[in-house]
Amino acid sequence: MEKGGITLFTNALLVYKPVEKCLEIANRITSSLRIHGIPVHAISVDDLFTKRENEEALDFDLIVSIGGDGTFMKSAKYSTFYSLILPYPCGKRNAYYEQGLPDPAKIVERVLKGDFYLENIPLYQLCTGETCKYFVNDAVFVSSDLGKVTKFKVTITSHTAETSMLFEGDGIIIASSHGSSGHNLSARGPLVMPDHESLIITSLNPLQLGLPSIVAPPYSTVRIWVKNPTLLYADGEQLTLLKDNSVVEVKHGFRYVRVVRFREKRNIWRSIIEPRQCVF
């Protein structure tokens, strides 16, 4: 991480999960920013992309994400090369958030003084034909016929090697290192430390026994061929229905989300594993 300097924000976007607790936090942060003369555009995460489709896109210096990991991933899509994202936890799963943050008003004061660190989280590109989309967490391929397996071919190309794997199953997950704590982990894939900028390939219910996950080298290109119609999701959002014999390319986007942090180091394992413990 790098230390933040003196910061000047001309506007802010505040994205919140529409529940009472998050609304209270959103109101307090909005008030604190406006006291310092910073215009704030507040919007529910449920309305985020609908709103953008109907209005001219705006660029924001500061994006405040109040919710869980789903809120953060949607907020990240709104960032530009110059935006900073301030995550404030208010959800069940908060792998992208810091725990134990002080009062929202104090957080705003620290951000405006430049008293923070920056964590750069990579974005990855998901390309189908000439259309490319960015994702933070993962891309998930699932057979459109949930009662029938289909064939997948995965080809990994790096600077020193090219290797392929053909299997039959319900689907496949291509996760980033940050996203390895999501669907990938639930599907018994490996938990990869986030500063390792790699892609993790995990099959869903493969017919072949003992098929392991694969961690591709950083900056590899992963191509997925699907034999039958397959649903494609990115960060939990359905993108498209792939046709027979479609090929999708996944690669590093060479673009980063700049995230505000208040501690130089985070306890990654605790933030991921603790919320997943069974409660009886």
End-to-end Cα distance, the chain: 38
Rounded to an integer, what distance in angstroms lies between the CA atom of residue 41 and that of residue 203? 41
Read off the pLDDT of each residue in 229-238 and give the average, rounded to a whole number.
93
223 and 155 in a common domain: yes
Q: What is the pLDDT of residues 191-201, one digit of tens each?
A: 998 888 999 99
Task: State residue 119's pLDDT score.
Answer: 92
Give burial (CB, 10 Å; 0-12/13-18/19+) of 110: middle
112 and 140 in a common domain: no
- Please, what is the angle between helix 104-113 and helix 20-35, to 10°? 40
Task: State residue 53's pLDDT score.
Answer: 43
Q: What is the pLDDT of residues 16-55, one digit of tens each?
A: 999 999 999 999 999 999 999 999 999 998 887 655 444 4
The whole domain housing 153 covers: 123-254
Strands 62-67 and 12-16: parallel
Tell me which of 138 and 7 has the higher pLDDT: 138
Contacts of 81 (CB under 8 A, 6+ apart): 255
Strands 171-176 and 138-143: antiparallel
List C-alpha distances in Å: 65 to 72, 234, 242, 252: 6, 19, 31, 24
The residue whose two tokens read 């039959």 is 168
Task: State residue 1's pLDDT score.
Answer: 52
Q: What is the pLDDT of residues 243-257, one digit of tens each?
A: 999 999 999 999 999
Report the SS3 class of residue 152. Answer: strand
Read off the pLDDT of each residue in 142-157 and give the average, rounded to a whole number.
91
CATH number at residue 52: 3.40.50.10330
**Nearest Cα to Cα of residue 139 among 93, 99, 184:** 184
195 and 155 in a common domain: yes
128 and 40 in a common domain: no
CATH number at residue 214: 2.60.200.30
106 and 172 in a common domain: no
Q: What residues are paired with 131 via a beta bridge? A: 128
Q: How many domains does the chain have?
A: 2
269 and 211 in a common domain: no
Task: State residue 56's pLDDT score.
Answer: 44
By the 8 A CB rule, do 66 and 90 touch?
Answer: yes
Q: What is the pLDDT of residues 51-67, one digit of tens each?
A: 544 444 468 999 999 99
57 and 93 in a common domain: yes
Q: pLDDT band at 234, cuts 50/70/90?
A: very high
pLDDT of residue 115 exceeding 70: yes
Strand order in the sheet with 237-242: 214-216, 199-204, 171-176, 138-143, 230-234, 237-242
**Nearest Cα to Cα of residue 155 among 231, 226, 235:** 226
pTM above 0.85, yes or no: yes
The residue whose two tokens read 């899509």 is 77
Task: State residue 147's pLDDT score.
Answer: 79
Rounded to an integer, what distance in angstroms lies between the CA atom of residue 66 and that of residue 116? 18
The one-character DSSP state at 178 is G
